[in-house]
Amino acid sequence: MGTISLEGLEFFAYHGYYPEEQRIGNKYALDITITTDFFRAAQHDKLSETVNYETIYQLTAKVMKEPAKLLEHIGFNVIEKIREHYPTVEKVTVKVSKFNPPIGGVCTRAVITMEG
């Protein structure tokens, strides 16, 4: 077992609970960690025997283009897409950050972390 991580994926997207957030857009960051068995890939030096992080990025980018009200919904959808494409992974952890959330005060980021 091991982990494959993509950290600091950045997107500008139109998510948010409030209509103005969906209209104006905001910057988001995601960190994704996948726990899986990549012994055969390491042994044989074959990309086809592991999780391709380019594919993970593409799946995530697709989710980020779909409007969502909640960070939790984004995290859930990223996990679902990864599991659909790589059903044998043991665990997927996704951290979704929203920069400068509209909370009425100073806040660098709102963050949720999900596992599935």
Amino acid 31: pLDDT: 98
Collect contacts of 100-108 with beta carbons under 8 A, ≥24 apart. Answer: 100/26, 100/27, 101/26, 102/16, 102/18, 102/20, 102/21
Which domains, and CATH codes, for the chain? 1-113 (3.30.1130.10)
Q: Tell me the pTM.
A: 0.94
Cα–Cα separations (whole angstroms), residue 9 to 39, 49, 53, 61, 107: 26, 24, 11, 9, 20
- The one catalytic residue in 27, 65, 81, 98 is 98
Q: For residue range 36-67, list pLDDT tens digits in order.
A: 999 999 999 999 999 999 999 999 999 999 99
Of 116, 10, 25, residue with least CA distance to 72? 116
Amino acid at position 100, single letter? N
Q: For residue range 71-107, list pLDDT tens digits in order.
A: 999 999 999 999 999 999 999 999 999 999 999 999 9
Amino acid 116: pLDDT: 96
Amino acid 44: pLDDT: 96
98 flagged as catalytic: yes
Alpha-carbon distance of 22 to 44, in angstroms, equals: 46
The contacts of residue 75 (CB under 8 Å, 6+ apart) are 94, 95, 96, 112, 113, 114
Amino acid at position 91, single letter? K
